[in-house]
Amino acid sequence: MIDQRTIDEVLNRAEIEKVVGVRCELKKKGSHLFACCPFHSEDTPSFAVYTQSGTYHCYGCQKHGNAISFVMETENVTYPEAIKRLAKRFGVDVKEEKLTPEKEIEHRKKESMWAANERLLKVYQDEFAKSKEAQSYAYNRWGRDYCNLMGIGYCPPFSKLVDKASISDGIVAELNLKSEKGYDKLCNRIVIPIRDRFQRIIAFTARTLDKNCNTKYLNSAESLIYHKGENLFGIDAAWQPARKSGTLYVVEGAPDCMRLQSIGVLNAVAPLGTALTKEQL
């Protein structure tokens, strides 16, 4: 497996505008760069490139990711191969770490869990695109631009959308995605992905649209890929700006973090458990 420090260095050097710029013509519009999406057919650019966070998001087909996923998708290669290609292009030495067979199996399982969350979010994003109620709530609260940067979704009341996301029963159970009656755990909520700094979706936090519900935000259960005490909300957007500026703001909870990031203070994060732990920093 490729060493984490190599991946960090690749993401640090392979600036997203350079990686995307090889394939797409980027034009400045407002505070971001836009291109015609390389993943779906269109005439007006809706593929946004966020240089600050090193990520992209398509307003049309909801594709979201960083330099590594861009190479994976456009050059049709695996995750390690995409890292190697970028490392070569941007002059980074690749260090590999040999995994034990047990670790190898665990890593594969993590990969299927990240992929499952990715597919589930896509289903929720399609619902978000259809729901005026969800859009009006989210855009009022965080602004359209930030909602797009995050790629948020919506799970309507009494949904059984997990069944639509082609996730194996084993992974559904491990990620604890369904209620006892078979409904989605996140029903009647705006679904906000929690990503790690490599843009992998490790969990969700979801804001209720029910005024009478006391649990305003519901987070995913802990799993092999998500440990409250080790992960920070907002790190996906905050990581690059924090590296560049040398400052990282730690706020109390995900809602505060979203408020700051939505007004352009991207280098903000929030702990997901109760107290801040050493692992998070």
- DSSP character at residue 100: P
Nearer to Zn ion (CB atom), residue 8 or residue 127: 127
- Residue 1 CB neighbour total at 10 angstroms: 13
- 40 belongs to the binding site for Zn ion (CB under 5 A): yes
Q: Which position among 60, 80, 143, 273 is part of the footprint of Zn ion (CB under 5 A)?
A: 60
Nearer to Zn ion (CB atom), residue 46 or residue 223: 46
Please work out, in degrees rounded to the nearest 5, the angle formed at the alpha carbon of residue 119 by the alpha carbons of 178 and 204: 55
Nearer to Zn ion (CB atom), residue 39 or residue 137: 39
Nearer to Zn ion (CB atom), residue 57 or residue 84: 57
Residue 102 CB, nearest distance to Zn ion (Å)? Answer: 39
Residue with tokens 């996730």: 167
- 61 belongs to the binding site for Zn ion (CB under 5 A): yes
Residue 245 CB, nearest distance to Zn ion (Å)? Answer: 30
Q: Is the separation of the CB atoms in 34 and 21 below 8 Å?
A: no
- 137 belongs to the binding site for Zn ion (CB under 5 A): no
Per DSSP, the chain holds a count of helices (H) and strands (E) of 10, 12
Round to whole Å and give the CA distance between 63 and 55. 11
What is the contact mask toward Zn ion in residues 87 to 116, using x (rule: CB under 5 A)? ------------------------------
Of the ranges 50-58, 128-136, 146-154, 259-267, which one interacts with Zn ion (CB under 5 A)? Answer: 50-58
- 129 belongs to the binding site for Zn ion (CB under 5 A): no
Nearest to 199 by CA among 105, 93, 92, 73: 73
Q: Is the separation of the CB atoms in 148 and 190 below 8 Å?
A: no
- 58 belongs to the binding site for Zn ion (CB under 5 A): yes
Task: Name residue 196's amino acid.
Answer: D
Of the ranges 16-24, 61-69, 226-234, 235-243, which one interacts with Zn ion (CB under 5 A)? Answer: 61-69
Round to whole Å and give the CA distance between 82 and 88. 10
Nearest to 149 by CA among 217, 68, 237, 31: 237
Nearer to Zn ion (CB atom), residue 61 or residue 129: 61
Q: Which position among 36, 39, 85, 90 is part of the footprint of Zn ion (CB under 5 A)?
A: 39
Gap between the terminal Cα atoms of the chain? 23
Q: Rule CB under 5 A: which residues touch Zn ion?
A: 37, 39-40, 58, 60-61
